[in-house]
Amino acid sequence: VDANTNATVAAEALLRFKYENRIIPPLEFIPLLEETGLIVVVGRFIIKQAAKFCKKMREHIKDFRVSMNISYVQIIKGVQFKEYFKIIEKLGLPYDSIVIELTESGYLEDNQAVKSAWNKLKNDGIRLAIDDFGTGYSNIHNISMLSPNTIKIDMSLTKNALKTNYDFELLRNIVSLAHELKINVVVEGVETEEEYLKIMQINPDYIQG
């Protein structure tokens, strides 16, 4: 949601796996997909579904976007972004209708394959975001290395900012730094009007509930 206008502008594609009437959480099955290399095949499925949904939503919301996650494992295992472009083109969508979010399943420490793939996507007009910022390996180093269009503040950091002044000021400064670098900020985990009003004090670009 656009933080200033409250207009719905985008959605995130979330992968779920149902087995014998049980919903298996991503934290359980994503590592297995990455380990076996099946994450590349599943990635193709996700981009098809995300692009189709985006096309349908653009009948109602002109510049609607859909974001989807990839992991550095997909890049290392040879995800073919040309296939992604063909899917987007076939539906008549502009490249910037899809946002690729990089999730850090492992440390990126100057990984050349990741940087090369990331730069290729940016140069071709795909919008890029660093997901889960504020947890794990998401850090200032990766903003410097990857120069994303957007960072997405993890829900855990948002919840902490809503509880303590220290974390609130920390989040305020992260947003300020991002804006100085012309990077958009999505604050995740905003669920109530009270939370929304407080988070708006730090001037985010978008909120995700």
Per residue in 137-189, pLDDT tens? 556 777 887 889 999 999 999 999 999 999 999 999 999 999 999 999 999 99
Segment 190-200, tens digit of pLDDT: 999 999 999 99
Strand blocks (E) in the chain? 10-12, 17-19, 22-24, 65-71, 98-103, 127-133, 150-153, 184-188, 206-208
* Confidence class for position 106, pLDDT limits 50, 70, 90: low
Helices (H) and strands (E) in the chain, counts: 9, 9
Distance CA 51, CA 68 (A): 10
Rounded percentage of the chain residues whose pLDDT exceeds 90:
61
* Contacts for 171 with CB less than 8 Å, ≥ 6 apart: 153, 157, 158, 161, 187, 202
Distance CA 54, CA 109 (A): 33
Segment 34-64, tens digit of pLDDT: 888 888 889 899 999 999 999 999 999 999 9
DSSP-derived letter for residue 53 is H
Mean pLDDT, rounded, for 104-113: 60
Mean pLDDT, rounded, for 61-78: 85
β partners of residue 206: 2, 186
pLDDT of residue 110 exceeding 70, the answer is no
- Which residue do the tokens 């004090």 mark? 201
pTM assigned to the model: 0.88
Distance CA 131, CA 155 (A): 11
Token pair of 205 as six digits: 């670009």
